[in-house]
Structure 1
Amino acid sequence: MAANSRLNLVFAALTALLLLTAATAGYFHLEERRLHPERAAAPAAAPAADPAVVAAAARLEHLERLAAGEPGNPDHVTAIANLHYDLGNFREAAAYYERSLGLRPGDPNVETDLATCYHYLGEHDRALQTLDRILGHRPAFSQARFNKGIVLLNGKRDVQGAISVWEDLLRTDPEYPHREELRGQILRLRQSAE
């Protein structure tokens, strides 16, 4: 089998794994937006009556009022970041995650989401630096380790690096909820690299 065909199989298998973890990691929605930006782009004159747009705008306005009322509360800032993240506004989300970390440094969940924003912005080295910092303080933080494998595989095209990180994840977290799917993905990646 040609190397390109094997690589295509690797990425098809990774996509299958990501679909399995979409409920907890939110990758299905984000990968769709990344792979098909034309589908995610808002029309030039978005209808004002679009319920999703109205709801998101209202939620953002509400969160900004909360944050303005309690400027030292990182939870409000994180909620704004999460909304931008969910909408695919990764640059805005990253700015709010950074602000939240200024208020509550070292929150591994916020740092992991920030690293994911960097990844989706194409700043893969910055994403890896952030994930390595998290893992330096919390080596058993599974979501950061899983995301590091994603960045290595999809961002850096480092199949062996991703396999190594995910094998470490399986070793360090015997209760990892997607253990069998991840083992299968590692096996498929190994087979495609032969």
Structure 2
Amino acid sequence: MAIDKSNTKPWVKVVIIVVALSFVAAFIPGLWTALSGSGQQNSATGGNGQLEQVAKQHAGQIASLKGLLASDPTSYTVLVAMGNAYFDWAAATAQASTDSGIEGPMWESATIYYERALAAKSGDPSVGTDMAIAYFYGGRTAEAIAAVEVVLAKNPEFAAGLYNAGIFYQAAGRNADGVAVLTKYIAADPQGTSGQIDRAKQMITQMQGSAGSPSPGLSSTLTTP
């Protein structure tokens, strides 16, 4: 269940595309940068387990960024970095734990910082798409759709936005919209990215059919170093 931010660190989110900011962690299965693979089992109270290690890995960066925000609370660069840091933490937590929803607070924090960043300076389709992905994985599908539609209204051929919009529409049962936007995605990104063309075609087939299986995952603009 990961993500891919344009020009960011990639990580596997559940089936969302690569977003362009920093590609921070793995994707979650389903997002362009979906977090692929199954994480090791670990409960929320895993003590010295993997979740604790994940938290430690992100705590230092977040503390440093919060220090920077204290002196400049409207810094676009720092706000985006904060959103990316929480995004990566959420994705890594989702991959490491079998407890569904444990990463919810991190997704929520990611959306808050992305919102603040876009309030300071709007227009970057990668930030907008990453915010939409965070909404989606935080259980806010309607907000995810609204956010990605804002991105596509200004950037109609932005591949990550098109791909992720298809995932959001499928989840919302808007199959006709999903098929249309994924068809546009294939035309906009004919060479494909990390096998996303095949996944897009699979989703189109699912939506054109009856029930179909769950979507393969979202893709964000974050990537692992």
1:180 deviation in Å?
A: 3.9
Greater helix proportion: 1
1:13-66 deviation per Cα after TM superposition (whole angstroms, max 9, x unaligned): xxxxx889679462239877xxx9xx67631x8449944322221111112123
Q: Distance in 2 between matches of 1:164 and 1:133?
A: 17
The alignment of Structure 1 onto Structure 2 pairs a total of residues equal to 170
C-alpha RMSD over aligned residues: 3.4
| 1:147–1:22 Cα change, 3 Å | closer
Rg bigger for which structure?
1
| 1:78–1:186 Cα change, 3 Å | same
Structure with greater contact order relative to length (CA < 8 Å, sep ≥ 6): 2
Q: Give the percent of matched residue pairs that are identical in Structure 1 and Structure 2.
A: 23
Match of 2:70 in 1: 68
Match of 2:201 in 1: 183
Q: Which amino acid aligns with 1:159?
A: N
Match of 1:167 in 2: 183
Q: Which amino acid aligns with 1:161?
A: D
Q: Distance in 2 between matches of 1:68 and 1:134?
A: 29
Match of 2:169 in 1: 152
Determine helix, strand or coil for the equivalent of 2:29.
helix
User: Does residue 115 in structure 1 map to residue 132 in structure 2?
Assistant: yes
User: TM-score scaled by structure 2?
Assistant: 0.62
Q: Distance in 1 between matches of 2:135 and 2:15?
A: 20
User: Does residue 27 in structure 1 map to residue 56 in structure 2?
Assistant: no
Q: Which amino acid aligns with 1:28?
A: P
Q: Distance in 1 between matches of 2:108 and 2:78?
A: 18
Q: Distance in 2 between matches of 1:122 and 1:163?
A: 22
Q: Distance in 1 between matches of 2:176 and 2:55?
A: 42
**Runs of 4+ residues deviating >6 angstroms:** 18-23, 29-32
Determine helix, strand or coil for the equivalent of 1:135.
helix
Aligned pairs (5 A) from 1:2-21: none
- The answer to whether the 8 Å contact 1:149/1:163 transfers is yes
User: Does residue 102 in structure 1 map to residue 119 in structure 2?
Assistant: yes
- The answer to whether the 8 Å contact 1:48/1:54 transfers is no
Unaligned runs of 5+ in 1: 1-17
Determine helix, strand or coil for the equivalent of 2:126.
helix
Unaligned runs of 5+ in 2: 1-11, 20-26, 91-105, 213-225
